[in-house]
Amino acid sequence: MEFKSVSDRQAEAESRKAKGNEALKAGDMPLAIALYTVSISAIKSISETSAALKQNAAIYSSNRSAAFAKLQQWHCSLGDAQEALRLSPQWHKAHLRIAAAYLGQGHAEHAYKTYLQAADLPAGYHEAIKECVHALWQIPRLESPLAQKRVARFDQDRMRPKGWCRIFAISDVHIDHGSAVMTWAEGISDKEFKNDILMVAGDLGDTFNAIKRGLMIFKKKFRRVFYTPGNHDMWIRPNTDDSTKKKFKDSIDKLLAMLDMCDKIGAEMMPAEVMQDVYVVPLLSWWSCTFCEGDPRPDNVRYDSFCKWPMGEEGAHKYFLQWNDYFVRRIQKNQETRGRK
């Protein structure tokens, strides 16, 4: 039996990687995958012995992930990308491969957050920001498995008779603006509204933790709680938990975290038919200077500098219009099918 030295194994792995890169460039994905597999196998037993070997092994897995991605074999691509990340946690390429695989699988939210993580790593910013745009604009199409799971709640009460419960609405609670507000919220009856619906229409709190605290209180009082954020809710202010602990990269990152949080506590941010022909429709929106015909451009003035929009200040309203359009079309179709306006 022939035993190869560490240097021989490294040389073989690098040689096969180089040929794999040529095959990848030439579009021969099966050959590229086979060659990268040989590279991985050549140093597998020694890859944990030094930082340099671990980085090489990460590169081989990353390259094979890219080849699988070209074939749209996303599960294999993701597995290799995750192995690359395990071997080299601070390497931005591993994060980018994971994000690409997530996006290929339709998990736009996971992809976007992973791209943001890559942007924070050495040499990762420009490539990650360039690539994350695809995930960013995929999110409001609401086609991901996560979005579809949320959308599925749209119909859960549609057969309930009109008038079976009451619907209340409130806005600008600012739950974190003094103890009196919290005392008021906690003092709402635990029994009187148990079958009712509450709409919380913006500016519930300045930070993620305040928003969560407010929604948890309201969820104890009402059967269903619908929430749509205002500008205060989307803030990422310096020297708050949002910027120092949770470290939200932008306001979309915070929005995605709020959607996840609502899933966990039972609140809702998606529209729903809450009884026959009665809809609660939280709409996401942002200002747009384009509606002002006299002086449509605000020079260098920003409407709200604490909100950070990755699509730009003037792109936010277009982003949310696309998000809202899904439900507007669904409700219109429902009503047309039923012969109602």
* pLDDT for residue 139: 97
Helix (H) or strand (E) holding 225: strand 224-228
Question: Is 203 in contact with 215 (CB distance < 8 Å)?
Answer: no
**DSSP-assigned letters across all residues of 307-326:** ---TT-TTTHHHHHHHHHHH
Per the CB < 8 A criterion, the answer to whether 170 and 201 are in contact is yes
Nearest by Cα to 229 from 197, 268, 263: 268
Task: Pick the closest to residue 109 from 327, 323, 314, 285 (CA basis).
Answer: 323
The tokens for 261 are 């949080």
DSSP lists the bridge partners of residue 273 as: 279
**Both structure tokens of 181:** 């507000």
Q: What is the pLDDT of residue 302?
A: 67
Q: What is the pTM of this model?
A: 0.91
- Quick one: pLDDT at residue 1? 36
DSSP 246: S
Decide if 290 contacts 273 (C-beta within 8 A).
Answer: no
Average confidence (pLDDT) per 10 residues, the chain, 341 residues: 74 95 98 97 88 94 98 98 97 98 98 96 94 96 96 94 95 94 96 97 95 97 97 93 91 97 97 95 87 69 84 91 94 90 68
Where helices occur in the chain by DSSP H, the ranges are 6-26, 29-43, 51-70, 74-87, 92-104, 108-119, 125-138, 145-151, 179-186, 208-221, 241-244, 251-265, 316-337
Which residue shows structure tokens 């047309």?
336
